[in-house]
Amino acid sequence: MTDRLITHLRHVDLAIPDFDTQREFYTNLWGLTPVAEDNGIVFLAAEGSPEQYIVRLRKDSEKRLDLISYGVASREDVETMAERLGRADVQLISEPDTLHTAGGGYGFRFFDIDGRTIEISADVAIRQHRRIEERESIPVRLSHVVLNSPDPSRTQTFYEQHLEFALTDTLTHPHLGEMMKFMRCNPQHHSLAIAKGPHVSLHHVSFEMRGLDEYMRGTGRLLRAGTRLLWGPGRHAAGDNTFSYFIDPHGNTVEYTTELELLDEDSWHPSLYDVSRLENQDQWGTANPFGELVAKESFNDVDRGLFIAPPV
């Protein structure tokens, strides 16, 4: 068993120009709960999650991925990680200190190899949460985040060497080579995946639902509201999870999922999944084909926040 320090994914923070439209989507339609709000910034929680928030929205003149936050077990682990990254010449944005966001805590930030801001934190206050009821089609928690990189192997190596992520599986194509690398920081099949894209950007953010019925009810609610369904509903081969990918008002891809595979890390061996085989894209055969247009939507816009720390 690995002795990695990172325990889990905490939250994904987005900046957007039209704050009110995005806030409306993620609260009244997607199913998240505002827990703190100030002028042009809102912290959104999942009712089933102990995390203070899983998405932060911030108003900005440009769309960008502000940061991705991961948890560790203690303040000592925060300091150990900051020291390790500093010795490895990873560019730190801040030193370990008290966090002044919802839930507080102790943490620091740095740039990954592609210029994304990453936060490591501990001692964040536990949010009072609840059991999601049967047929209640709102997210239980944040599942995973997928990032676009022109050089996925380079990005993979950074996360393996510096953050102790492990490769779980890889999607391949007979003509295009390796297309996506699934990375884990706990027994969940992946908390992070790295997709091959033409530029650095956010690929998608995924939200875990209570079960299959709640996943389908949520998918239906979004469809009835006229939200654009990019791909799904279906069930992937790698990870064995369900998927329904939608486009939010600012062109980010967001996913409802459930039943992501939990694995035994001591015995797991990574596999290659050829995505030219339709059963590897979607075991059920219910989703629309993953064609060139779907892929281009997932490339998203070029991230304007690379190597620029967010103001909050």
Superfamily name and number for 6-122: 2,3-Dihydroxybiphenyl 1,2-Dioxygenase, domain 1 (3.10.180.10)
Average pLDDT over residues 203-226: 98
Beta strands at 55-59 and 41-45: parallel, antiparallel or unpaired: antiparallel
Reported as a pLDDT band with limits 50, 70 and 90, residue 2 is low
pTM: 0.96
> What CATH topology corresponds to 141-299?
2,3-Dihydroxybiphenyl 1,2-Dioxygenase; domain 1 (3.10.180)
Q: What are phi and psi of 147, to 5 degrees?
A: -120, 145
Tens digit of each residue's pLDDT (9 = 90 or more) over 140-169: 999 999 999 999 999 999 999 999 999 999
Tens digit of each residue's pLDDT (9 = 90 or more) over 217-249: 999 999 999 999 999 999 999 999 999 999 999
Domain spans, the chain: 6-122, 141-299
User: Quick one: which of 244, 86, 273 has its CA closest to 173?
Assistant: 273
Neighbour order of strands in the sheet with 41-45: 33-38, 41-45, 55-59, 6-16, 64-72, 117-122, 106-111, 97-98
For residue 1, pLDDT over 50 is answered with no
Output the pLDDT for position 294: 87
Output the pLDDT for position 21: 97
Q: What are phi and psi of 19, to 5 degrees?
A: -60, -45
Reported as a pLDDT band with limits 50, 70 and 90, residue 3 is confident
Q: What are phi and psi of 304, to 5 degrees?
A: -90, 5
